[in-house]
Amino acid sequence: MKRIAIQIACAVFFFFLSFKLTIRTPAPSDKRVKIMNGGIDYAAKYAGIKTRREYFAAVFSDPRLQIDSGIVKMAKSRNKGKGINYQFLYTESSIQAGKRFIEDRGEVLEKVRQKYGVSPNFIAAILRLETNFGSFIGNHLAVNALYTVGLAYPKKSRDARRQLNSFIDLSRKYGWDPFSIKSSWAGAFGIPQFMPGSFAYAVDGNGDGVIDLFNMDDAVMSAGNFLKIHGWRNNDPLAEKNALRSYNRGSYADAIIKYAAMLKKNNKQTR
């Protein structure tokens, strides 16, 4: 327990230093351990918070903030530079799932086409690859994922700290419980798997006055908006690929383009 407390204290100090916040972090041997052992009313803890500084202090003193051991183990293999195999995307069952999605969500997909100029095939490709159309949104807590990546992935640590900063700010702004949102190992959340820093491109797709990336209409419209703002021009292969690279790097864009082309052929749709 003492060893874990020391690790937590070092990690918290590291993050507060990177955020340049002048907050005194509670010593692990008193306040934090007392909270961990004594329990806490989380709703009451966050209800009276008024300032950004107080909110950050509350998050970093919350016993639910933990290093995700699964992500630490994953870091060892990913740091070796293993690529992603996208072959699962191109199976017949996968293509049929994309076809059904386009048929079922035709109305909102047509709105994306009209407003952002993005073909349904590409939106379907993104959501198929990211979360299998919302069926798997990740099994990590976003706040802990970002916290852990900042410590376990040297090459990603600076961006992870920045994304964690954004996520906590979003939680405060929109009244989220920062410890209730599931994400990928990297901290991407929602059906379109937006990183916290990309939430600025999220939109209210169903007109209910709330931006919810776990709602399919919002997710579809947000993905289209993201691509449009990042230079998407329909029937311009270079612009399309560059926009997709902004969504995710590596061979991601090629995988999306290939899947979209297979859907187009299967559905006999125009781009």
List, by residue number, the catalytic residues: 130
Q: Please, what is the Cα angle at 142 between 15 and 18, to 5 degrees?
A: 15
Other Cβ atoms less than 10 A from the Cβ of 64: the count is: 15
Other Cβ atoms less than 10 A from the Cβ of 225: the count is: 20
Cross-strand pairs, 194: 189
- Classify residue 268 as left (phi > 0), alpha (psi -120 to 50) or beta: left
Distance CA 190, CA 110 (A): 21
- Residue 161, CB half-sphere, CA atoms under 13 Å: how many? 19
Considering only the C-alpha atoms of the chain, give the largest distance between any 2 of them, rounded to a whole number of Å: 65
- C-alpha to C-alpha distances, 155 to 79, 104, 158, 159, 251, nearest whole angstrom: 9, 41, 8, 9, 19
Q: Please, what is the Cα angle at 100 between 95 and 101, to 5 degrees?
A: 95
Q: Please, what is the Cα angle at 230 between 147 and 130, to 5 degrees?
A: 50
- Cβ distance 101 to 212 under 8 Å? no
Distance CA 48, CA 69 (A): 32
